[in-house]
Chain A
């Protein structure tokens, strides 16, 4: 599963991995805004951003080919708009759509591939996202694989009936979803019981934060300045 591979990458070690998550998130955000506001006249800017991203992947010692390929998943969606644009007589814009979508997916991949989930969430909290939302995300991420495995097992069992493998019928699918819901709900109650048994009284522990260091500040400021410079130099319509 792709998620497992990116998770593995995120546990690597490089100077990029070691940067504070908040700095990386800010850089990613700056990149996304720059990319998201590109117009048709910004091919050099796109090329420079791509170079920047590839450099990042290199520093992080990620397999470049896999990283580039990962972003292509978003293409089908973007291609639809591209086709519409091209047919409406605006092929340049079509190209911009596809490039923007692909680049932004690339940014997301690089961010997640150099930042393990707990640190990513800590970084988001350092940037003042509400803790409640982030803790819900933590629990979601924690139990994603567990529930996916349960669902997979039930789907297999359902479609293996009558000695042949076949697709589920509507009613069976609904029944499986219903059972999955009931089990998930029961699991949530069991988790709560375990939390209470261990002393939970209404406040989850704070999300552990790494210290923001000078290198992180230098990296953050430097990268953002570079991004703005590229945008300013080449991005004007």
Chain B
């Protein structure tokens, strides 16, 4: 199991109860899509997987409980792709940004640059290494952000609405790129057509808990998605 979550509950500071006892498993190498209405808890949930938020219950990632002493290692093994790539590409050049992860994990500058170049290759954009982020198209930014999280050689990829800002060809390209990656994947998305490219396993969130888990067609039919 690469992810094991038991009875996860979380309430925001303002009193909103975002998660009401979530139970979730993911086997290594598998891909699952998280779907559900806005505010159903999907984004809150994934923020518990790398310790951004901490609720009650247990969360274990790749055998490590998500507690402060393990956070550094967990954040190396879990790569989160956020919805707005601009918030993720915060360094002055693409290469520096992609090297951020390995550097933060303790690698030397030279090793980090090497890992960064390798990640850029895997993402198909080695030629963008010296570009500034604001010169990139939406699709290129998404790939650069992806390279950034691949650079630490993670075992789990968490993708938050990755198709936002992408046009249909961009979505197709991203889907192809992702399906070629060996990591386990958790995909938060509204787009069940995109989800289909990558998996047939959907966990449907409703009111802070997983209401059902199963094949896409069933879930879409059952919840009229």
A–B contact, 8 Å CB criterion (strictly below) = yes
> What is A's interface to B at a CB cutoff of 8 Å?
117-118, 121, 138-139, 141-143, 145-146, 187, 190-191, 193-201, 205-206, 208
Q: Which segment of B6-14, B30-38, B96-104 sits at the interface?
A: B96-104
CB distance from A161 to the nearest CB of B (A): 26
* Contact A194 B101, beta carbon cutoff 8 Å: no
Q: B215 at interface (Cβ–Cβ under 8 A)?
A: no
Question: Contact partner of B90 among A118, A142, A199, CB < 8 A?
Answer: A142
Instruction: Write out, one digit per residue, whether chain B residues 128-165 have a CB within 8 A of any chain A CB (1) or not (0).
Output: 00001110000000000000110010000000000000
* Contact B75 A198, beta carbon cutoff 8 Å: yes
Q: Which segment of B81-89, B175-183, B194-202 sits at the interface?
A: B81-89
CB neighbours (8 Å) of A199 from chain B are 72, 75-76, 100-101, 104-105, 152
User: What are 18 A-B pairs with beta-carbon distances under 8 A?
Assistant: A117-B92, A138-B92, A187-B87, A190-B84, A190-B87, A191-B88, A193-B52, A194-B88, A196-B75, A197-B75, A199-B75, A199-B100, A199-B105, A205-B99, A205-B103, A205-B104, A208-B96, A208-B109
* Contact B134 A142, beta carbon cutoff 8 Å: yes
User: SS class of chain A's interface: helix, strand, loop or mixed?
Assistant: helix
* Contact B90 A139, beta carbon cutoff 8 Å: yes
CB neighbours (8 Å) of A206 from chain B are 109
| Contact A194:B99 (CB < 8 A) given known A146-B134, A199-B152 | no
CB distance from A167 to the nearest CB of B (A): 29
* Contact A194 B90, beta carbon cutoff 8 Å: yes
CB distance from B163 to the nearest CB of A (A): 18
CA distance A206 to B96 in the complex (A): 10
| Contact A205:B100 (CB < 8 A) given known A118-B93, A142-B133 | yes
> What is B's interface to A at a CB cutoff of 8 Å?
47, 50, 52, 72, 75-76, 78-80, 82, 84, 86-88, 90-93, 96, 99-101, 103-105, 109, 132-134, 148-149, 152
Question: Contact partner of A191 among B87, B92, B104, B132, CB < 8 A?
Answer: B87
CA distance A201 to B100 in the complex (A): 12
CA distance A142 to B96 in the complex (A): 13
CB distance from A121 to the nearest CB of B (A): 8
CB neighbours (8 Å) of A121 from chain B are 92
Question: Contact partner of A193 among B82, B91, B93, B148, CB < 8 A?
Answer: B82
Q: A194-B80, A197-B50 are in contact. List 4 more A-B contacts (CB 8 A).
A: A193-B52, A197-B75, A199-B72, A200-B100
Of chain B, the residue at the smallest CB distance from A195 is: B90
